[in-house]
């Protein structure tokens, strides 16, 4: 099975009720994936990154839409297993000279990548949808949302 894992930027576009062309295109893309029976995952770390900014900016309509997505998509909480793997991936990236964030940063990308990697280890094909392919592709397959077509 193919799993689509949402990173922060596409999740922000999908949860944004403002009808900009790019947001609408991204929302339609998600609807098409779901209509084709694709499994789309909403990682807790991406929810956190989007939600904290929406709360700071008092964007209540976007928060409601984000909450709705949690009931439509498969929500993946952060677990101890995720954090243990993320720690190892973070350390390995630094040892190989490919850090993805500042040493003092929490590095949400590596946490999201660990969630994706654990799904991959179960035998699924996993693609992280992002606007930050450079960092995430160190760990997992990562593409822009518009590069992923529904499987027909």
86: domain CATH number is 3.40.50.1010
Asked whether residue 31 is assigned to any structural domain, the reply reads yes
Range of the domain at 24: 2-147
Is 93 in a helix, a strand, or coil? helix
**Tens digit of pLDDT at every position of the chain (152 positions):** 899 999 999 999 999 988 799 999 999 999 999 999 999 999 999 999 999 999 999 999 999 999 999 999 999 999 999 999 999 999 999 899 887 777 777 789 999 999 999 999 999 999 999 988 888 888 999 999 999 987 76
Distances (CA, A) of 93 to 48, 108, 135: 23, 14, 10
d(CA 152, CA 140) in angstroms, rounded, equals 24
Asked whether 4 and 39 are in contact (CB, 8 A), the reply is yes
Indicate whether 152 belongs to any domain. Answer: no
Domain total of the chain: 1
- For the full predicted model, state whether its pTM sits above 0.85: yes
What is the arrangement of strands in the sheet containing 2-6, beginning at the earlier edge strand?
74-76, 39-43, 2-6, 125-129, 142-143
If one counts every other C-beta atom within 10 angstroms of the C-beta of residue 89, the result is 21
Strand segments (E) across the chain: 2-6, 39-43, 74-76, 125-129, 142-143
On whether residue 42 sits in a domain, the answer given is yes
The answer to whether 78 and 115 are in contact (CB under 8 A) is: yes
Backbone angles phi, psi at 17, to 5 degrees: -75, -10
User: Are 30 and 15 spatial neighbours (Cβ–Cβ below 8 Å)?
Assistant: no
What is the spatial distance between Cα 108 and Cα 9, in angstroms, rounded to a whole number? 12
Q: Is residue 59 part of a domain?
A: yes
């Amino acid at each position: 099975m193919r799993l689509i894992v949402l990173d922060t930027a596409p999740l922000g576009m999908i949860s944004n009720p403002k009808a900009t062309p790019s947001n609408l295109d991204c929302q339609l893309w998600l609807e098409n994936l779901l209509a084709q029976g694709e499994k789309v995952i909403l990682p807790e770390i991406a929810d956190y990154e989007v939600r904290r900014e929406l709360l700071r900016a008092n964007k209540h309509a976007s928060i409601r839409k984000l909450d709705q997505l949690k009931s439509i998509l498969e929500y993946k909480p952060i677990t101890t297993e995720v954090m243990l793997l993320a720690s190892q991936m973070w350390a390995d990236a630094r040892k190989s000279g490919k850090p993805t964030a500042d040493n003092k940063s929490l590095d949400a990308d590596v946490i999201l990548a660990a969630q994706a990697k654990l799904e991959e280890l179960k035998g699924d094909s996993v693609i992280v949808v992002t606007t930050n392919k450079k960092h995430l592709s160190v760990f997992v397959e990562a593409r822009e949302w518009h590069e992923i077509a529904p499987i027909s």
